[in-house]
Chains A and B, each alone.
Chain A
Amino acid sequence: MPVNPVPASAGALEIESVSVSYGKFVAVESVTLSVAAGECVAVIGPNGHGKSSMVTAVAGLVRRGGRVRVFGETLPAGSPGAAVRAGLVLVPERRHLYPELTTRDNIMLGSYSRTRRLWARQAWEDVSWVLDMFPELGRLLEQKAGTLSGGQQQMVALARAMAAKPRILLLDEPCLGLAEAVARRVYDWLRVMAETDMTILLVEENPVHALLVADRAVRMYKGLVEQPGVAA
């Protein structure tokens, strides 16, 4: 008998009444959203309406109200480590790589919470399979991440997230600042990831991009989820 049985109706990711405030400014009012296992849901809407705040709160990076559950496990608020250990991994807006570290180190550190290896070489051997998904990174392994192009950096950010072996992937504006051609390539990679059994919550300002990979989309406006259930 499982210790924490998951209700039959529960989604892989359950966001219940999540709110985020910065001082008196309410960025996310009360968002409730459920993502089923293996589903890719896009959160679309104009800039400044709480999409990124919501997803970073879900990942434990900003203080929040409400509840977040991952496969039935309730995550403590404000604990990104707990989120990663539960299998919830964020690819943040603007990537936030480690510019002075190599591509190899950036990817390897994605597995930090999962493997807890002592030696960097061993940790890399555990995650080198990621190159099968992103073979172009093979020739960039010893290059500092800060010297890569925007598209290459996004590829490293995705590879770093995959190294954590996420059950749920949160993607925040993965094409922000990228040229259209590069953005299309990023979405090619995301489509490959979405075809696995991974659960994805995608934040995207551009609905055309979002609907390239999403099973369905919801719109966020003024800190609220406005229209759930828009078919892709």
Chain B
Amino acid sequence: MSEFLNLLAAGLTSGAIYGIFGACLAVWFRVCNVLNLAVGDFAMLGAIGTAELAQTDHFPFVLAIAATLASVGLVAWIFDRLVLHYAFDRGAGGHGIVSVFFYTFGLSLILEGAARAIFSTDVYGAPAIWSGPALTIADFHVQRAGVLVIALAIVSGLVLWAYLRFTVSGRAASACGESVLGSRIVGIDSALFRRRIFVGTAMLAALFGIVESPLTGFTYQSGPTISLIGVVAAGFAAFRRPGRAVAAGLVIGVAEAMLGGYVSTSYNDVLLYAVLFGIIILRPEVLGLTAEPA
């Protein structure tokens, strides 16, 4: 029983990581029908930036977090102004599959290169926000950082779900993804929604990277893997439902932990990619692999 509970705790922790990045992907896809393949790189910047500022430059921890989050938000804002604005508001560049994948894939490569140039190839971990030994109940152990990760994922998922479901602003954000022209004729500024949510989810991903990094560590190459598992979790939620993406991430994480614990960890990646293939075959439209909706 204790083995099951410990596997469950580990699965929920990794599942929360999948889920939150899935939620970040889903909420932005809902607004502009583009996958943010740089979301993992924003998490990487958050983790490495905070670790560098706090441990090497000896910034106070809270200041290091604030400075890193502000920097990540600024990077996202600049990218929106320099690339997304021209691609989507001025009608420049390609659309369809090009916009779905390659704008943010390019950003991912740039951020990875920049992180390698600015930092090093070492493994970084930001200081733990909630430090101390693992919490233990009977034979059940869970890291404090893991508890924070799970709590942050659930709270973020609930907040995003409530925003989209109950607020006029959330409905307006959804309308932007449904019809840009339809949203503009009622006075909704689709570019402003796209920018705000891109910057907001970049900062949320960075915050999650900071909270998660004491558990897993980050290198400059961590971003694409995180983005990929986010894509899988978001795919379960049709790329449009952040609350469901968090739930899907938790399920994938637990399934992966159980598979690793009772069968073999060798099958973890198989499970992840099998899910991805399942999405491509069963719901190809959400990956932009069929004709765009009218």
Whether chains A and B associate is yes
CB pair A119–B181 under 8 Å, yes or no, is no
Taking the complex as formed, is A228 at the interface, i.e. its CB lies under 8 A from any CB of chain B? Answer: no
Within 8 A of A (CB), among B259-294: 293-294
Mark interface residues in A74-86 (1 if CB within 8 Å of B CB, else 0).
0000001100110
Measured in the bound complex, the distance between the Cα atoms of B168 and A121 in whole Å is: 8
Q: How far is the CB of A166 from chain B (nearest CB, A)?
A: 11
CA–CA, A190 and B112, complex, Å: 57
In this assembly, does B179 line the interface, its C-beta being within 8 Å of a C-beta of chain A?
A: yes
Total contacts A-B at CB 8 Å:
87
- Complex partner residue of B184 from A61, A119, A123, CB under 8 angstroms: A61
Contacts of B188 in A (CB 8 A): 81, 109, 112-113
Q: Chain A contacts of B187 at CB under 8 A?
A: 80-81, 84-85, 112-113, 164
The answer, yes or no, to whether B189 is at the interface (CB within 8 Å) is yes
Q: Which of A25-33, A44-52, A89-97, A134-142 contacts B (4 or more CB under 8 A)?
A: A89-97
| A98 and B179 contacting across the interface, CB-CB below 8 Å | yes
The answer to whether A1 has its CB under 8 Å from any CB of chain B is no
The smallest beta-carbon distance between B222 and chain A, in angstroms, is: 34
Given contacts A80-B185, A112-B186, A113-B187, contact A120 B171 (CB under 8 A): yes
Q: How far is the CA of A98 from the CA of B174 in the complex (A)?
A: 8
Q: Is the interface of B mostly helix, strand, loop or mixed?
A: helix
- Report Cα–Cα, A81/B186, bound state, in Å: 7
Report Cα–Cα, A81/B191, bound state, in Å.
12
| B175 touches A (CB below 8 Å) | yes
B52 contacts the other chain (CB 8 A): no
- State which of A92, A118, A120 has its C-beta within 8 Å of the C-beta of B185: A92
A100 touches B (CB below 8 Å): yes
Q: Is the CB of B167 within 8 A of A97?
A: no
- B182 at interface by CB-CB < 8 Å: yes
Residues of A within 8 A of B189 (CB): 81
A99-B178, A99-B293 known; A123+B168 contact, CB < 8 A: yes
A223 part of interface (Cβ distance < 8 Å): no
* A80-B187, A96-B185, A100-B178 given; A109·B166 CB < 8 A: no
Interface residues of A in 151-173 (CB under 8 A from B): 160, 164
CB distance from B166 to the nearest CB of A (A): 6
Please, which residue of chain A has its CB at the minimum distance from the CB of B164? A120
Nearest chain B CB to A229 CB, angstrom units: 29
Contact mask for chain B residues 215-243; partner A; CB cutoff 8 A; 1 contact, 0 none: 00000000000000000000000001000
**Complex contact B166–A121 (CB within 8 A):** yes
A109 CA / B186 CA spacing, docked (Å)? 7
Interface pair A101/B175, CB less than 8 Å apart = yes
**Neighbour of B181 across the interface among A96, A99, A109, CB < 8 A:** A96
Which residues 164-203 of B sit at the A interface, judged by CB distance below 8 A?
165-172, 174-175, 178-179, 181-189
In the complex, are the beta carbons of A101 and B174 less than 8 A apart?
Answer: yes
A108 interfacial by beta-carbon distance below 8 Å: yes
**What is the interface size of chain B, counting residues whose CB is below 8 A from a CB of the partner?**
24
Interchain CA distance A113-B183 in the complex, whole Å: 11
Residues of B within 8 A of A109 (CB): 168, 171-172, 175, 183, 186, 188
CB-based contact B172/A119 at 8 Å? no
| Cα distance, A123 to B294, chains bound together (Å) | 27
A97 to B181, CA, bound (A): 9
A108–B167 Cα distance when bound, in Å, is 11
Q: How far is the CA of A117 from the CA of B168 in the complex (A)?
A: 7
Q: Does A200 contact B (CB under 8 A)?
A: no
Answer yes or no: A174 CB below 8 A from chain B CBs. no
The CA of A98 and the CA of B164, in the complex, are separated in Å by 14
User: Considering only CB atoms, which chain A residue lies closest to B176 in the complex?
Assistant: A98
Q: A101–B171 contact, CB under 8 A?
A: yes
Contacts of B183 in A (CB 8 A): 98, 109
Given A61-B184, A84-B185, A97-B182, decide whether A118 and B171 contact each other with a Cβ distance below 8 A.
no
Q: Is there contact, CB below 8 Å, between B174 and A112?
A: no
Question: Which residues on the A side are within 8 Å of B181 (C-beta)?
Answer: 61, 92, 96
User: What's the least CB distance linking A23 to chain B, in Å?
Assistant: 11
A contact residues vs B (CB 8 Å cutoff) = 59, 61, 80-81, 84-85, 89-90, 92, 95-101, 105, 108-110, 112-113, 115-121, 123, 160, 164
12 A-B Cβ contacts within 8 A?
Answer: A61-B184, A85-B187, A96-B185, A98-B183, A105-B171, A108-B171, A109-B175, A109-B186, A112-B172, A112-B188, A119-B168, A120-B166
Lowest 7 CB-CB distances: which A-B pairs, in order?
Answer: A113-B187, A96-B182, A98-B178, A84-B187, A81-B187, A80-B184, A98-B175
| Further contacts, 6 of them, CB under 8 A, given A120-B165, A160-B186 | A101-B171, A108-B171, A110-B186, A112-B188, A113-B186, A117-B168
